[in-house]
Amino acid sequence: MEALGGYPVKSSGPKVKKLTVLLSMTVGVGCLFLLQTQLLKPQKPADFYSFEVKDAKGRTLSLEKYRGKASLVVNVASHSEQTEAAYRSLQEVHRELGTSHFNVLAFPCGQFGDTETGTSSYIEAFAKSTYGVTFPFFGKIKIMGSEPEPAFKFLTDSVQKVPKWNFWKFLVNPEGQVVRFWRADEPMESIRQEVAAMVREIILKKRAEL
């Protein structure tokens, strides 16, 4: 090949083509790596109902079954000074508002003194036989320390408060977001009123969608 004036010019076509192919391959591999990293990266659950937990028998259970309902999530204990009064009032609310739109969800925790020392299955059986509760019980969890139960940590992170004792209550809306919490010594009547108001909203919304 000659340029104007008759001087020969060396062709660089093959080298340029090889370089282009190499760059394309490098970019392609980089994109695939980034895509794979994003796909393999564990996604943080966006709401309470996105979590899986253990039931009282040790079986894995998805909280998705409670989506669309209001939930009052409580860290319970069998041998606390508040146990009898708390279980009876929680059962009353659970029975009154029914399971179609609302549930009390009990998570035993043994980190507050010696108030919960038994196994998960014993805790559930004790509460049912002694206090006649019918609401769901889950496996015994940790709330504090380096290995807190992820589902319960979602609750405490949402309100920026960690229970100081047994029977703290967290109200979760149908979308799985925490809207309110109560400490153990707060009156159950005010809790019942707020839960009932949320249940009414759920019922009205469902009627409007018919």
Alpha helices in the chain (DSSP H): 13-40, 83-97, 120-131, 150-159, 188-209
Is the model's pLDDT at 35 over the cut of 90? no
Residues 6+ apart with CB under 8 A from 3: 9
Q: For all residues of the chain together, what is the average pLDDT?
A: 87
Length of the chain: 210
Quick one: pLDDT at residue 210?
86
Q: CA 82, CA 67: separation in Å to the nearest integer?
A: 29
Place of tokens 């929680």: 90
Nearest to 106 by CA among 71, 69, 65: 71
Residue 153 has pLDDT above 90, yes or no: yes
| pLDDT value at 41 more than 80 | no
Query: Of the CATH numbers 1.20.1300.10, 3.40.50.10440, 3.40.30.10, 3.40.50.720, which one belongs to the domain with range 48-209?
Result: 3.40.30.10
**Cα–Cα distance, 140 to 124 (Å, whole number):** 10
Q: Residue 116: helix, strand or coil by DSSP?
A: coil
Share of the chain above pLDDT 70, in %: 79
Distance separating alpha carbons of residues 71 and 51, to the nearest angstrom: 14
pLDDT, residue 98, reads 87
Whether pLDDT at 71 is above 60: yes
Partners of 180 in the β-ladder: 171
- The answer to which of 83-87, 157-161, 178-182, 205-209 has the lowest mean pLDDT is 205-209
